[in-house]
Amino acid sequence: MVLTDKQRTDLHAGIYEYLLSRGPAFAATAEALAQADPEARSSNSSTDNSKTDGNDDEPSNSNGTSPRKTTPSSATPVLEKKWTAVPRLQKRVLELERQISSNQRIHAHRAGFSGGTASAPLDSTTASGGIRERRMLPRPPAQHSLQSHSSGITALALHPIYTLAASGSEDGTIKLWDHESGDYLRTLRGHTNVVTSVDFCPKGGGYLVSCSTDLSIKIWDVKDNFVCVRTLRGHDHTISCVRFVPPPLGAVFLEGGKIGSVEGGGAEAAA
């Protein structure tokens, strides 16, 4: 390790100060260091003079050095402060490295993301004149892997406000998940055949609508009781999709040519 003259002088002064603070047992070692490098003593003396504001009434040893007072707890040698600061800085560096690594995994699918920052916007022109690839699809590794259905998954919907996801399956069940933590919440049972579509109310309410090849549409209360509050029948063929209409008609859903409305925890035919 190559040190400059100033760094070497500060290091020797710190060691000299530390040895003096350890009491008479290390006085001979401190004196040997001072003889080998007189600047260590002079640098330490100038520091002491600046701390004591010119107080010259302290007694001196026979070798001319002023003994260090060790009683005040605040008088910590500079060398000890720097020594204890190194592990703290190393720990902080490791924490930042882990955070950068985590951010890289989370945001790896974003275009131009490198080292924790976006180097260029989407669809920007590269130095070679080409167009940067637009990477909008998610990239591995996945944050969570949710498994509970006993058959293929045919439908999926995310709540517009809460971290709630609903999945429909060929096993006739609807399962609710917390997609932020990856936790399974509960299973909604009522359909007797494949669930083909699910959708949450876009107003942020506690309703979920689902349809199935059993020719029924069900309205679920997923906020309080997690039960089916209304079952609608009328189709004579498979219902392939059901969707809520966006606001301001957020309580109305469309399904295979018929329209229904959700009011007061139930559903009424509107047309």
What is the 3-class SS of 83-108, one letter each residue? HHHHHHHHHHHHHHHHHHHHHHHHCC
What pLDDT sits at residue 140? 77
Helix axes 38-52, 5-21, angle to 10 degrees: 70
Which residue has 């401190």 as its token pair? Answer: 30
Q: Can you give the pLDDT of all 271 residues of the chain as single tens digits?
A: 577 888 778 888 888 888 888 888 888 888 888 888 888 777 666 555 555 444 444 444 545 544 444 434 345 667 777 778 888 889 999 999 999 988 887 776 555 545 444 444 444 444 444 444 555 666 778 888 888 899 999 999 999 888 899 999 999 999 999 988 889 999 999 999 999 999 998 876 788 999 999 999 999 998 888 899 999 888 888 888 888 877 665 556 666 544 554 433 344 433 2
Residue 211 to residue 255: CA distance in whole angstroms:
8
What pLDDT sits at residue 185? 92
- Could you tell me the pTM of the whole model? 0.46
What pLDDT sits at residue 35? 84
Extract the runs of DSSP E, i.e. beta strands, from 31-182: 113-114, 117-118, 153-158, 164-169, 173-178
Buried-exposed string 254-268: b where 16+ CB fall within 10 A, e elsewhere: bbeebebebeebebe
Residue 132 is classified by DSSP as P
CA 127 to chain centre: 33
Nearest by Cα to 260 from 231, 237, 236, 238: 231
**DSSP reduced 3-state for 267:** strand
The tokens for 101 are 């690594």
What pLDDT sits at residue 6? 80
| Longest pairwise C-alpha distance within the chain | 110
What pLDDT sits at residue 120? 45
Residue 261 to residue 141: CA distance in whole angstroms:
40
